[in-house]
Amino acid sequence: MSEPATVDTPLKKLVGEKTAKALAAHLDLHTAGDLVYHFPRRYDERGEHTDIRSLDVGEQVTVLAQVQRTAVRPMRQRRGNLLEVTVGDGSGGVLTLTFFGNQAWRERELRPGRWGLFAGKVTEFRGKRQLNGPEYVLLGEGGDGEAAANDDIEEFAGALIPVYPAAAAVPTWVIARCVRVVLDTFTPPDDPLPSAVRAGRKLVGLGAALSEIHRPSSKEALHQARRRLKWDEAFAVQVTLVQRKHRAADWPARPRPARPGGLLEAFDARLPYELTAGQREVGVEIAADLAAGHPMHRLLQGEVGSGKTVVALRAMLQVVDAGGQAALLAPTEVLAAQHHRGMLDLLGPLGRAGELGAAEHATRVELVTGSLGAAARRRALGEVASGATGIVLGTHALLYEGVDFADLGLVVVDEQHRFGVEQRDALRAKADQPPHVLVMTATPIPRTVAMTVYGDLEVSTLSQLPRGRSPIASHVVPAAEKPAYLDRAWRRLREEVTAGHQAYVVCPRIGDGPGAEEEPPPEDDNGRRAPLAVTEVAPLLAEGPLHGLRIGVLHGRLPADEKDAVMRSFAAGDLDVLVATTVIEVGVDVPNATVMIVLDADRFGVSQLHQLRGRVGRGAAAGLCLLVSEAPEGSSARERLDAVASTSDGFKLAELDLEQRREGDVLGATQSGHRSHLRLLSLRRDADLIREARAEAITLIEDDPELTRNPALAASVAALVDEDRAEYLEKG
């Protein structure tokens, strides 16, 4: 009798060295635990049909289908015959399987009426979908029964046939066979869910769930197995976040209460506009957090243009009033410089301590970026270290050794999703005691994502736009179907410039030359042309439809001083049109810019398009955003653009974005470089389950903060959030 397998047993001991090597090389599966937690993607059912008509060209698929007919014909270009097998799903969808060479045995095997699983890459030839030389396994139905006895397909004996995430070299039935071998001797780990939670939520045991998810005895058993395993994922994440929040509440922090008659009061008195009700409400929440004896840990989310920067500046002034310093970390030099100019304008004499005409209780505002000259850097860092500078703005340059603070009381992180936990912690470590932390995002976050990804933060939301913001009209320009519409778009841009306004043209790519971030290949797998590039589009526009206009170029590969010079020129009105990448996505504020044309708009994500659109309509004149695309009508890409054009509600769009992105991307698992541990949980579909898991986690952590009485759960949490994976929990 073979030894029992555990989660740590190497696969080569169970399935043989050759198969184990293939599983490791193609699917990153190394142990029995890896394989047992490699869950089926879906289940095909005898008598039900795979929808062959919905298959996309270029997709690697496994289909359950029935052989309809076979035909053999000689090949024209070379010797031998071609076997063509037509298979169907029973609902009208057909697929051609092609096999090259003389394979009479295959013709005998693939008799009409036989059902099988067929795996390969979908191609198209003369309007017909086909699989060339697919791997397959026959299921014996409609035959004489010999296949049903074959050991290779024993795993398909049940009515529900598991279809696994697979690779060309390791098809789904090979994985199913390996899973069967492993499950025959597998001893599941200690159940991580406390027995009270299992009983209270009527959840099946872990061993039964792992068995049923691979070899379901019924649809109900499969449902219960999936529900139980989703609970494991949701509960481990929520316990981690609740535990982190619980520990943070015990950290000491220096209270920074509001000071009557200080900078903040003077700032409010000189603001040229009235704060919105939302800004005042969030301001009260933050002020109370700053006055407390433990660190604030708050997420501020708000629509593009909802006034987050003013809220953050008021918090910074409260800390300066209380004798501390505040630092704002921005993801790009363009954004850091924009914040610097904007805050100096808002503060006026309150931000010019030591200068002629400064207010009595003024502070200094310094910009620290990597492109500062040596002398300017020494002076700026000296002011920060001495405490003479109350507010410091910068990029990751703030994290470097040699940037010291006299008394860092507040860290504001703008566009939180651009930073990893290590960077935020490096800035935090520059304070004697944990500083208060405010993280901001202009990408609206669906409620379940906020609860799951930012569950250790208090969340404040600004949904109201300040008075004076103009509406933005958005339209899709179908360039392939109606080229005249694109010509009209360029004329519309010229009309805005003639009226004294400015415009953006956004491209998905920088262009030729090394060093571009996320530079794509010339063509993708489906043969689409390369995305349009700034360095190629700008001269074409200058010679063509925008001839005679003053055009500037902005992208991430330009030197920092050049980027800043271009932005200053555009802000000053010295340029009519800015051709740029998404470097303008956040923080760029030019009220005179009224029109934006996004080229190859289908290459951008929903939230990215919403962010970009927020760069126009920031002044008194209405904004116009034109989304240019060659995506055909009815395609998912076109539907996505139509949805963006149809609403300016960022929260609705965030829900749409969540529907269209893989869960792992939402949770940042892609950025952390690891296979996500969240295999079944859907932030969109499982919102109720996540809420229940959070409630149970709060109850448990209040009773057992360090999980000393729940060692199996502690081990499960440690596996989910080890040092390498902690990052995804703090990124959005």
pLDDT tens sequence across 555-599: 988 887 888 889 889 999 999 999 999 887 655 778 899 999 999
Pair 455, 497 in one domain: no
CATH number of the structural domain spanning residue 515: 3.40.50.300
- Rounded to an integer, the average pLDDT of 385-407 is 86
Residue 283 lies in a domain: yes
Of the pLDDT bands very low, low, confident and very high (cuts 50, 70, 90), residue 675 is: very low
> How many CB atoms neighbour CB 723 within 10 A?
8
- Cβ neighbours for 216, distance < 8 A, ≥ 6 positions apart: 43, 158, 160, 162, 222, 225
Task: Round to whole Å and give the CA distance between 46 and 161.
Answer: 8
Quick check: is 628 in a domain? yes
Judged against a pLDDT cut of 60, whether residue 402 lies above it is answered with yes
Partners of 160 in beta bridges: 45
Q: Give residue for tokens 């920092």.
A: 560
**Lowest-confidence segment of 23-27, 309-313, 580-584 by average pLDDT:** 580-584
What is the per-residue pLDDT for 576? Answer: 96
Same domain, 457 and 530: no
Q: Is the pLDDT of residue 420 over 80?
A: no
| Mean of the per-residue pLDDT values of the chain | 82
Residue 490 shares a structural domain with residue 428: no
- Contact (CB, 8 A) for 580 and 555: yes
- Residue 443 CA to residue 643 CA, distance in Å, equals 16
Q: Is residue 5 part of a domain?
A: no
Residues 458 and 482 in one domain: no
Could you tell me the residue range of the domain that residue 445 belongs to? 263-462
What pLDDT is stored for residue 724 in this prediction?
A: 38
Q: What is the pLDDT of residues 219-259, one digit of tens each?
A: 899 999 999 999 998 998 889 888 888 887 778 889 999 99
Phi, psi of 697 (to 5 degrees): -65, -40
Name the band, by pLDDT with cuts 50, 70 and 90, for residue 416: low
Which of 402-406, 452-456, 722-726 is least confident? 722-726
206-214 and 219-250 helices cross at what angle (nearest 10)? 130
Please say whether the beta carbons of 460 and 440 come within 8 A. no
Q: Is the pLDDT of residue 113 over 70?
A: yes
Q: Which residues are 412's β-sheet partners?
A: 328, 438
Q: Estimate the crossing angle of helix 219-250 against helix 711-720, to 10 degrees.
A: 90
d(CA 159, CA 144): 19
* Two tokens, residue 387: 């405490």
Give yes or no: residues 414 and 300 share one domain. Answer: yes
pLDDT at 93: 78
What is the predicted pLDDT for the residue at 452?
65
Q: Are 235 and 693 in contact (CB under 8 A)?
A: yes
pLDDT of residue 357: 72
Percentage of the residues of the chain whose pLDDT score is greater than 70: 83
Same domain, 84 and 160: yes
Same domain assignment for residues 453 and 543: no
CA–CA separation, 554 and 588 (whole Å): 12
Average confidence (pLDDT) over 24-33: 92
Confidence category of residue 709, pLDDT binned at 50, 70, 90: very high
pLDDT at 525 (0 to 100): 41
Task: Evaluate whether 381 touches 429 at the Cβ level (below 8 Å).
Answer: no
pLDDT, average across residues 594-618: 89
661-673 pLDDT, tens digit each = 544 443 433 333 3
Interstrand relation of 60-74 and 551-554 (parallel, antiparallel or unpaired): unpaired
Backbone angles phi and psi of 676, in degrees to 5: -65, 140
- Assigned token pair, 349: 């004499």
Of 284, 283, 291, residue with least CA distance to 257: 291
Tell me which of 191, 215, 246 is where a domain ends. Answer: 191
Q: What is the CATH number of the domain that holds 62?
A: 2.40.50.140
| Residue 328 pLDDT level (bands cut at 50, 70, 90) | very high
Q: Which of 182-186, 342-346, 368-372 has the lowest mean pLDDT?
A: 368-372
Give the pLDDT confidence score for residue 144 in this predicted structure.
39
pLDDT digits (tens, 9 = 90+) for 257-296: 999 999 999 999 999 888 989 999 999 999 999 999 888 8
Q: What does the pLDDT read at residue 423?
A: 58
Distance CA 245, CA 229 (A): 25
User: Which residue, 396, 430, 462, sits at the end of a domain?
Assistant: 462
Domain count of the chain? 3
Q: Is the same domain home to 556 and 625?
A: yes
Most distant CA atoms of the chain, gap in Å: 98
Q: What is the rounded distance in angstroms from the CA atom of residue 155 to the CA atom of residue 140?
A: 13
> Is there a domain that residue 308 lies in?
yes
